[in-house]
Structure 1
Amino acid sequence: MLVKGDKKFSRLIRWLQNMASSDAGRPVLNGIHIDGDQTMVTNGYRLVVIDTPKELQNLGPATIEGKVPAGEFESEFTNIEGKYPDFNTIYPNGVAQAVVDVDARLLRELLDGLSGTPSSVSLVLYGPNRPIELFGATRDDRDAYMVLMPMHRALDNKLTRPNGTTVEFVWPEKRIREMEETIERRDEEINELQGQIKELEDNE
């Protein structure tokens, strides 16, 4: 199937293809999966879900592969047979410990300078609207320490996953109050228990 687009679409497709797998043993992960108004790619370690571009809206549900050379605005795509993984099962659940907004350009520039070989980058979060520490290694294996300043997030700015659920996050002030209330209840229970023990001892 021939798909035509513009420069932005071509750039988007090349980015999605880079996010997909190259494992010949799992060919379905090598493609771009279109499912209604959502389009996704995964390699088993990362997942990207975006709104389906208008150029692909008539192709799904399907998993497709093809190349869009730089500078070209059309490509021939083919279908990949096989069942695409249920991405809904991998969304994190529970209460988030911290939400920090950062400038995507600044983060990308920091990561671009790190080792391209398999390596880890440690992100240290101190809570909302606090600086982030990053620990990694440069391409010539020098230790690298970085700090990325946050962009302040509004309290009512919700983050919604592709399945419609929102990220649940308890702001530190609320969490502290909840912990204080729990401690107070425990103190009351302990005092009551100690009173019962004393009463039993007095009756012996």
Structure 2
Amino acid sequence: MSGGKKVKSEKAPVRGSLNATISVSSLKISVTSDDPVRALPELRKLVEAVGSLENDAMLYEDMLGFELKEKLSSEVVENQEIMAIIKNTLNVEEDYLVTKGVLDVIDELDFEKRNKEAVVDQDQLRSCVESIFSSVEVPAVRSAIVHVKGPIGKSQRLMILDTINRRLNYPKLRVMNTDARQEDKVLIEAILFGDFQYERQE
């Protein structure tokens, strides 16, 4: 990094804590938090401000990457295409939110076809979607990435996405699917981009 500026994440003295130091040529800022997930967005904004003063984009990039790894599932983090889309979107958007929900999977038997299909309950789906977006400023959402992970088929995934699309008033939407045949739950993970006035309390 240029300009003699460094960001150092120190080993936390207790589980669930965060110690970080931002060093500039003539200034050192120490940050401590007992809630790293909620502290990371504020730390990133501080780093962004320092980075703009020092004209060092690498500082912001490092912090953003660290923050995303803390908030997102491993499937999203390991998907280079999706991560590139997230970072490119944040070059033009004001901010982002991550919200998640989990659905139970039901085995629906078809005696005529002699098979079974993994499905989700529609009432539970509506309740889950309402819950995960209840504290989101929907008018501020300009685009979103939705990750659906579970043992369900195409028709069930489309039903989930349609429910989310209607709840968010049809923003620009990208979809990531992960097949997980051995699991009995469906994970819904939404990354929302926009100009948010407040953050959802996780």
TM-score, with length taken from structure 2: 0.26
> Relative contact order, CA 8 A, sep 6+: which one is greater?
2
Query: Which is greater in Rg?
Result: 1
Per residue, is there more strand in 1 or in 2? 2
